[in-house]
Structure 1
Amino acid sequence: MSEQISNQDMDLSSGIAAFESKQFSRAVGLLGPLAEAGHPEAQYRVAIMAQNGLGMLENPMQAFKYMRAAAEAGLGVAQHGLGFMYMEGECIDKDANKAVAWFKKAAEQGLAGSQTTLAMMYEEGRGVEKDPEEARRWYHLAGFDEK
């Protein structure tokens, strides 16, 4: 069993390295089976590749499926990615309420990009009631100074 786990770890590391160095066909080959097996890091990267047609044909349904799975597993960058999909209507119908919910999960993990996006949504009243105080709070958490 431990040999199988170490092979999976090696494939995950190699797949992430291939993804980071833009060797997307290799990344798909290594990460695809791991994504199918439920590895959130692999699912997130396969979702990005499927969404943008990197190393594979564009596949919005697969992109959404894996992004959601990785987000539900608690991966902050995937929660941000899923929030973005809902906010922009990419791979799924636009839903500002769901976007806010996923950005909030990622923001609570400390992702500054999610905190900033959430602040803007509170500022504009997108998916939530307009709330300048809440917007300021998220901007502050994201590292923006008070004016």
Structure 2
Amino acid sequence: MSHDPSGLDMDLSSGIAAFESKQFSRATGLLSPLAEQGNVEAQYRMAIMAQNGLGMLPNPLLAYSYMKSAATAGLGLAQHGLAFMYMQGECTDKNPAKAIEWFKKAAEQGLVGSLTTLALMYEEGHGVEKDQEEANRLYRLAGFDER
């Protein structure tokens, strides 16, 4: 990378700040080049914006591709986001088994939302064999008391 790293950090933090304050077209302008260079934080936020048409037209293909890149690189939030895409059939084909796989990865990073969704999927036998014990174990990990 021949770029000035402090400049990139600056763009990233400005882009994230713009995203957080819902200035989506500004966020897109700042984060898009960083996402293309493989920055996972930028990719995750670009995926959200592309998925929901924030600061750009909805772009399911771009949303899926950035979400998958960031998830594969190990970003927990992106793993959760990708799992949801598979679960809902949003931006990609519905695939409950892949949803389970990615929720597990996010859950391993301690994401409570992923643990809870996973528990529910085991409880309902959605994309996985129904397993109440596993559901209970996951609920406990997520901080819920015995159900």
Partner of 1:50: 50
Shift of 1:127: 1.0
Partner of 1:72: 72
Q: Mapping of 1:53-132 within 5 angstroms?
A: 53-132=53-132
Q: Mapping of 1:1-80 within 5 angstroms?
A: 4-80=4-80
What value does the CA root-mean-square deviation take over the aligned residues? Answer: 1.1
What's the TM-score once normalised by structure 2's chain length? 0.98
Deviations 1:75-125 (Å, cap 9, x if unpaired)?
000000000000000000000000000000000100000000000000011
Number of aligned residue pairs: 147
Once residues 104 and 5 of structure 1 are traced to their aligned partners in structure 2, the CA distance between those partners, rounded to angstroms, is 33
Q: Is 1:143–2:143 an aligned residue pair? A: yes
SS in 1 for 2:4: helix
SS in 1 for 2:98: helix
Once residues 128 and 91 of structure 2 are traced to their aligned partners in structure 1, the CA distance between those partners, rounded to angstroms, is 22
| Identical counterparts, % of pairs | 75
Once residues 14 and 50 of structure 1 are traced to their aligned partners in structure 2, the CA distance between those partners, rounded to angstroms, is 19
Listed as ranges, the gaps of 5+ residues in structure 1 are none
Listed as ranges, the gaps of 5+ residues in structure 2 are none
Shift of 1:2: 8.3
Letter of the aligned partner of 1:95 in structure 2?
A: N
